[in-house]
Chain A
């Protein structure tokens, strides 16, 4: 029983760590996937965020205040992410960054909303900006925004009259699949096979057989990186010779590395890419490689521009008022002229969704090539 008392005493020490905040700093809390399945994407984001913060601090901070950055690990687990956001909010931050996993964001965004803290996330699931939360903002196109672009490409670029959809059965995959199927219906393209697969699924023989049986003109593949690689290998093996179309993940460098030559020929739509033919992105890429010795992915770009968006908007409102920040970021447009750190001209709408140009890409000989640039949807605020 004595032991229990001791436990609680330790608990007290662990839980009640107050944070004194110096007057000349502004705190940004980064709640992100540092371990678990999402460690790769989370660390890309984290590294880029750190790089941006350092640059800004070196240049005098935001409105003269130094950014104090604290990281919290979600362990890629929604429950933990909620605890992490709670812990981050206990520090009374100006803005929250992250997380990337949609399932985590959905669990914790309510907390930030209740605390009135703006939260800039890396998630793509459509539902996040559809719950009427005035404090949540994206850094990348939502599924609702990217699927129309992809659908147009399938209709106009590929000329497909029928498609198969293979998706991973979690909120990411399901969200993408739902948005995609709606766009197909709108364009009169028939979805002839609608196949779910498990997270961590290893054997895709049955899935490929089902696609072959349906004989579509193209297949849309919306899986996580490893499962994408496993699928591509099986598809290559069974000689599935229709265009395989994907979103950002399918064309990711990791997939190319894991799938090898089976990834060649995969086409799709990419929201952000370190290979984008823009001088600002190229410069960012070089800086990142110099500092971390790896090529940044789209998650790095998202984290980097999130920090610069905080700087730009704060300077526009001229103070550190969270409500004013959230109001100002809605319907804001930040161009490279306003702030070069934004890397690519970006607009936010009333719901917190972003709009910007995006790219068509293809995997050629183990490399992602940008083959076209798509204009913004231009929905914005009016």
Chain B
């Protein structure tokens, strides 16, 4: 037990060191990828709450990233600080996510997948068509990067640390949430909703909360995405992003705390590793997803657990 804890602490320190120090050696492109990884991890962590912990399928997470991105872009280009954009984005994400939860009270599984898929496209259509508000297909350009505690984040490295900081805060918050009675109620909802309800757990309310919180975290990711790319238009927030986030969660390990980080790392870095076979990476990624589903239902994080468990078993 102590050996295991020691190994976990060592691994954690290693990862922390990599996340903190590796970027110092990177050029802007590498920093951009690392920042993108942080943003996608946050968005996937939100979906992991809804899907992995509470068991509610959502194919609309990309739309919430879009909502957050637009909230941040509109407010910051109008001269407000990014904090205001974050608040507005998270607020909208909570509200719209809560509403999206209502269909989940009536239908489940594939029906819910279709409803959320439809919702994603509806959000996209609104972002594109209501150009009085969103700028339509022209998008919003020159999104400024925030000044955090007096430090401007215009430099890629500074912005990366900003993203990393937000990721850590979100991770901390979600970690605490998942260990709280709320988190237990989400898992109970996934494991056995009928039993949960009979034990006094208000499954309706927790279902709505799971959608609202997971979606709001997605919007939070969007609110950082906007200053990262500094130009947004509706196209990145169509269905494709939702599907990509879903696959990240599944590949990393749904219902595993570190699953989204690993899934996002693969999604962001795989195309880089596969430069020798330009364009093949999506094909390989799809194959990887299928292999994970068939052979590793608990995702790559689950595989790591299993391998380390086996290593310990053999050591004895």
Contacts and interface: CB of A to CB of B under 8 A. Distances in A.
Any A–B CB pair closer than 8 Å = yes
Interface string A59-91: 000000000000001010011001100110110
Given A86-B32, A169-B137, A12 B231 contact: no
A2 B15 CA distance: 10
A82 B136 contact: no
A14 B269 CA distance: 8
A371 interface: no
Summarize B's interface: helix, strand, loop or mixed: helix
B305 to A, nearest CB: 10
A306 B250 CA distance: 45
Interface string B209-244: 000000000000000000001110101100000000
Chain B CB within 10 Å — which of A15, A16, A18, A103 has the most? A15
B52 to A, nearest CB: 19
A83 B28 CA distance: 10
A8 B231 contact: no
Contacts of B32: 82-83, 86
Interface string A119-151: 000000001000100000000000000000000
A20 interface: no
Contacts of B308: 1
A233 to B, nearest CB: 26
B112 to A, nearest CB: 26
Interface string A96-108: 0000000100110
Contact of B141 (A3, A12, A131, A170): A131
Given A1-B308, A89-B29, A78 B269 contact: no
Interface in B224-277: 229-231, 233, 235-236, 262, 265, 269, 272-273, 275
B138 interface: yes
B236 A4 contact: no
Interface string B74-107: 0000000000000000000000000000000000
A73 B279 CA distance: 9
Interface in B257-315: 262, 265, 269, 272-273, 275, 278-279, 300, 304, 308
A7 interface: yes
Contacts of A11: 22, 30, 265, 269, 272
A290 interface: no
Contacts of A10: 269, 273
Contacts of B30: 11, 15-16, 90
A169 to B, nearest CB: 7
B157 to A, nearest CB: 13
B190 interface: no
A107 B32 CA distance: 14
Interface of B: 7-8, 11-12, 14-15, 18, 22, 25-30, 32-33, 36, 128-129, 136-139, 141-142, 229-231, 233, 235-236, 262, 265, 269, 272-273, 275, 278-279, 300, 304, 308
B235 A5 contact: no
A122 B138 CA distance: 18
Given A15-B27, A16-B26, A171 B141 contact: no
22 contacts: A1-B7, A1-B14, A1-B304, A5-B14, A10-B273, A11-B30, A15-B272, A75-B279, A78-B233, A79-B229, A79-B236, A82-B231, A83-B32, A86-B32, A90-B28, A110-B141, A110-B230, A127-B138, A131-B141, A169-B129, A171-B139, A174-B137
Chain A CB within 10 Å — which of B11, B27, B278 has the most? B27
Contacts of B300: 3
Closest 6 A-B residue pairs measured CB to CB? A1-B11, A15-B30, A90-B27, A87-B29, A14-B272, A86-B29
Contacts of B229: 79, 82, 107
B33 to A, nearest CB: 6
Summarize A's interface: helix, strand, loop or mixed: helix
Contact of B142 (A35, A83, A87, A110): A110
Nearest to B261: A4
Contacts of B7: 1
A171 B178 CA distance: 42
Contacts of B272: 11, 14-15
A103 B141 contact: no
Contacts of A131: 141-142
Given A5-B11, A5-B18, A78-B236, A170 B29 contact: no
Nearest to B236: A79
Chain B CB within 10 Å — which of A1, A35, A110, A174 has the most? A1
A81 B36 CA distance: 14
A79 B129 CA distance: 21
B235 A170 contact: yes
B29 A15 contact: yes
Contacts of A170: 137, 235
A78 B8 CA distance: 39
Given A5-B14, A106-B233, A15 B33 contact: yes
